Amino acid sequence: MDIIPLSYPVDWRASSGGGDNQVLAIGDFDGVHLGHQEVIGRALRTAVHLGLPAAIMTFHPHPRSVMGQDKYDSLLTPLESKMELFRQLGVSRTYVVTFDDSLMHLSPQQFVDEVLQPLGVESVVVGFDFTFGYQGKGNPDSLCELAHGKFAVEVVRPFYMDGAKVSSTSVREALQMGDVPAATRLLGRPYSLSGKVVSGFQRGRTIGFPTANLDPIECFVVPANGVYAVKALVKGETYKGVMNIGVKPTFETGELKRTLEAHLFDFAGDIYGETIKVELIAYLREERKFGSIDELVAQIRRDAEAAAQAAL
């Protein structure tokens, strides 16, 4: 997949592969959940029907983060992860548009005339709640009007599951509650995050459960504190495991930074400095403080057994 960085003002000769007509799906797509996949899938199908390339336009950093909404400082799918998911969906070209003050202050008409049209769009596909232009004044209806027939606009309806609209917010809420099955259903895949293995206190080794301490490589949404069954991708191989997210209250006291520690089954080796991807399979229990190390070890054994069954 070609990843093409754009900034305003747009130079179509440097950005659109020669100004060829294309079908363009536009959105933030944080999470690339089932609703987002509907929008992207529609663009792919329209492109096949028209015999044109399909592309995505997304924004970085997240517009709501630029506008000061703190919860968007962490993302379900930071940029690198989002690009990988686009590749898996079969997208051949993605425009990553720098969302800055100059872009934020474009009027809806300027966005159409000075950003979309230079890319040679034949058809634009957006979700029902798409907004654009200064203060989000543009919407799918105004996009149709402002196009003046120069390109088609397709609007994808909301995607519902169990009577509720699938959204990035609903995925975040599920993860914040440790509701792994709900997050998995909404995403259409297990939630995952990637981190570099860094040195820790190595207490796990002393009690027979060595762990990989993960430092997330991007600003991922970290799920609720607790113990999870996971699958980890390490150097191209997948391992089952159990991961603790939290502050390790049996060992520590006071206000501490949350850590992510994964114990991988049937794995031995030095992976310090390696980046591994961890998928959440099931939430096993809340994090809690134990009265002794022996109690902790006994519980970890039970967690490992439960994780091995959950990750079948």
Which residues carry out catalysis? Answer: 261
| Whole-angstrom distance, CA of residue 304 vs CA of residue 160 | 35
CB 225 within 8 A of CB 241: no
Closest to 89 measured CA to CA, from 40, 47, 159, 156 = 40
Q: 186-223 burial string, b = 16+ CB within 10 Å, else e? A: bbebebbbbbbbeebeebbeeeebbbbbbebbeebbbb
| Adjacent-strand bridge partners of 165 | 160
152 bridge partner residues: 123
| Contact (Cβ atoms closer than 8 angstroms) between residue 246 and residue 226 | yes
For residues 265 and 241, the answer to whether their CB atoms sit within 8 Å is yes
Helix (H) or strand (E) holding 239: strand 237-246
